[in-house]
């Protein structure tokens, strides 16, 4: 299909960004826990919280850096106890994602946050899996679950977590690496990622969010990841940017997260246009939308509004197409989404 991007008026862009089909590849399910659900589950389970209500919770969402966010995020996740809680959490996300025309989501979860509190891993995986199955049937959203290891814990603990998840191997598409980046380089997890690869799991890792470009190189060389989560600090190494472009390693970028965690001072300074201009397979995602002020379409709309000279219809199409390209599905499925995407852009031409 021939799309003439110059024939898509600027004022049509926000609606197009919201309605175009998209994949979401960097989304922590625990980061979709909205204050109302958090308080409801705390009440249900008699969990005492340091926050009195929705207002106090939202006021706590003023973060200085990644660690100050993680402290609140892990405390919030403490209200998730039963399989039904994980189902409810994920189902609410899928309903919200459907409103943004997310057609495919690859979703992170942090089992160690829950098993450390005595919640068995099967409740976590099965609750999420059942919501994913229903989302496929009722919302036509396909998805995959990515089990993340907490990098502030040891590799032995990561290995034990992988072993504990094996009975539900078929419900997982891959493994990831998240939590506090500085001081916890990818090399710490080389053995557990090798084991995950042997099991046929796709590998991804957060790198180059707060950590240096060298962590991105380690994730590629030592963990052999297929995508880098965040990766925005790659621009500190021109040689690395060239490599990422040459090898077409996707970056799952999260603009609102980067501003809320002070990786960039504001959206106008975000380097996503630079990443695209360098030919990288950059994608737009929401990370922890309940904490960072917006879901995936909000990320697109607010970023494009902040950088109107750099980001227009062509870049919108590129980013959504990159998301499909970077997903862990077969080529025929990707081609189908790509046709839907092209049709949405063709319909917006004037
Ligand atoms: N970075 C690292 N760990 C995380 C994040 C993130 O952005 N969100 C949830 N866990
Ligand atoms: Zn993340």
| Residue 3 domain-assigned (yes or no) | no
Q: Does residue 128 belong to any structural domain of this protein?
A: yes
Residue pLDDT, tens place only, 289-334 = 999 999 999 999 999 999 999 999 999 999 999 999 999 999 999 9
Specify if 28 maps to a domain.
yes
Give the per-residue pLDDT at 257.
99
State the distance from the centre of ligand 2 to the C-alpha of 123, rounded, in angstroms. Answer: 22
Nearest CA to ligand 1 atom 3: 179
What is the structure's pLDDT at 6? 98
Pick the residue whose CA is nearest to atom 10 on ligand 1.
Answer: 179
The pLDDT tens digits for 99-150 are: 999 999 999 999 999 999 999 999 999 999 999 999 999 999 999 999 999 9
pLDDT of residue 271: 99
Does a structural domain hold residue 56?
Answer: no
Nearest to 318 by CA among 285, 270, 347, 282: 282
Mean pLDDT in the chain? 98
Nearest-CA residue for atom 4 of ligand 1: 179
The residue range of the domain holding 278 is 13-32+89-348
Mean pLDDT of 204-225: 98
For residue 225, report the distance from its CA to the centre of ligand 2, in Å. Answer: 15
Which protein residue's CA is at the shortest distance from atom 7 of ligand 1?
A: 287
pLDDT band at 2 (very low <50, low <70, confident <90, very high): confident
What pLDDT does residue 303 have? 99
Q: Residues 198-235, buried b or exposed e (16+ Cβ, 10 A)?
A: eeebbbbbbbbbbbbbbbbbbbbebbebebbbbbbbbb
Whether 274 is a known active-site residue: answer no
- Spell out the residues 6+ positions from residue 241 whose beta carbon is closer than 8 angstroms to its own: 234, 235, 278, 280
pLDDT digits (tens, 9 = 90+) for 10-62: 999 999 999 999 999 999 999 999 999 999 999 999 999 999 999 999 999 99
Closest ligand 1 atom, residue 73 Cα: 9
Taking residues 68-93, report their average pLDDT: 98
Q: Does position 1 have pLDDT exceeding 90, yes or no?
A: no
Q: In this structure, is residue 61 part of a structural domain? A: no
Domain count, the chain: 1
Q: How many CB atoms sit inside 10 A of residue 88's CB? A: 18
Question: Is the predicted pLDDT of residue 234 greater than 80, yes or no?
Answer: yes
Q: With cut-offs at 50, 70 and 90, classify the pLDDT of residue 235.
A: very high
Task: Answer whether residue 293 is part of any domain.
Answer: yes
Position 67 in a domain? no
Pocket lining for ligand 1, CB < 6 angstroms: 28, 31, 66, 73, 178-179, 206, 209, 257, 287-288
Our CA dihedral for 271, 277, 283, 286, rounded to 10 degrees, sits at 20
What spacing in Å lies between the alpha carbon of 36 and ligand 1's midpoint? 21
> What is the model's pLDDT at position 130?
99
Report, as an integer, the average pLDDT of 261-266.
98
Query: Residue 93's domain is classified under what CATH number?
Result: 3.20.20.140
Residue 340 in any domain: the answer is yes
Identify whether the C-beta of residue 27 lies closer than 8 Å to the C-beta of residue 299. Answer: no
Beta strands in the chain (DSSP E): 22-28, 102-109, 142-150, 172-178, 202-207, 227-230, 251-253, 282-284
pLDDT of 343 over the 90 cut: yes
Instruction: Identify the nearest ligand to the CA of 180 by its number.
Output: 1
DSSP code at position 65: S
List the catalytic residue out of 209, 210, 217, 315.
Answer: 209
Mean pLDDT, range 183-210, rounded to an integer:
98
Tell me how far the alpha carbon of residue 179 lies from the centroid of ligand 1, in angstroms.
Answer: 5
């Amino acid at each position: 299909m021939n799309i003439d991007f110059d024939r898509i008026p600027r004022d049509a862009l926000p609606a197009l960004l919201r309605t175009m089909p998209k994949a979401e590849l960097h989304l922590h399910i625990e980061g979709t826990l909205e204050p109302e659900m958090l308080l409801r589950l705390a009440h249900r389970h008699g969990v005492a919280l340091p926050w009195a209500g929705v207002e106090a919770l939202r006021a706590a969402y003023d973060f200085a850096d990644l660690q100050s966010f993680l402290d609140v995020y892990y405390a919030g996740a403490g209200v998730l106890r039963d399989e039904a809680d994980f189902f409810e959490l994920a189902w609410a996300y899928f309903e919200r994602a459907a409103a943004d025309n997310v057609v495919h989501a690859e979703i992170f979860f942090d089992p160690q946050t829950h098993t450390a509190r005595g919640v068995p891993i099967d409740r976590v995986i099965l609750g999420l899996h059942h919501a994913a199955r229903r989302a496929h049937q009722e919302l036509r959203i396909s998805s995959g679950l990515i089990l993340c290891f907490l990098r502030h814990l040891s590799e032995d603990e990561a290995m034990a977590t992988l072993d504990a998840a094996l009975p539900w191997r078929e419900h997982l598409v891959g493994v990831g690496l998240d939590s506090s980046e500085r001081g916890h380089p990818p090399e710490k997890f080389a053995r557990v990622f090798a084991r995950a690869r042997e099991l046929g799991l796709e590998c991804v890792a957060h790198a180059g969010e707060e950590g240096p470009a060298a962590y991105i190189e380690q994730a590629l060389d030592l963990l052999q990841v297929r995508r880098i989560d965040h990766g925005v600090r790659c621009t500190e190494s021109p040689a690395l940017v060239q490599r990422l472009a040459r090898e077409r390693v996707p970056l799952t970028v999260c603009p609102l997260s980067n501003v809320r965690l002070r990786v960039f001072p504001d959206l106008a300074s975000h380097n996503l246009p630079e990443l695209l201009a360098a030919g990288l397979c950059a994608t737009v995602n929401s990370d922890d939308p309940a904490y960072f002020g917006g879901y995936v379409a909000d990320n697109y709309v607010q970023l494009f509004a902040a950088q109107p000279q750099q980001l227009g219809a062509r870049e919108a199409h590129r980013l959504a197409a990159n998301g499909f390209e970077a997903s862990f599905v077969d080529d025929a499925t990707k081609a189908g989404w790509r046709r839907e995407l092209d049709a949405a852009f063709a319909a917006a031409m004037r």
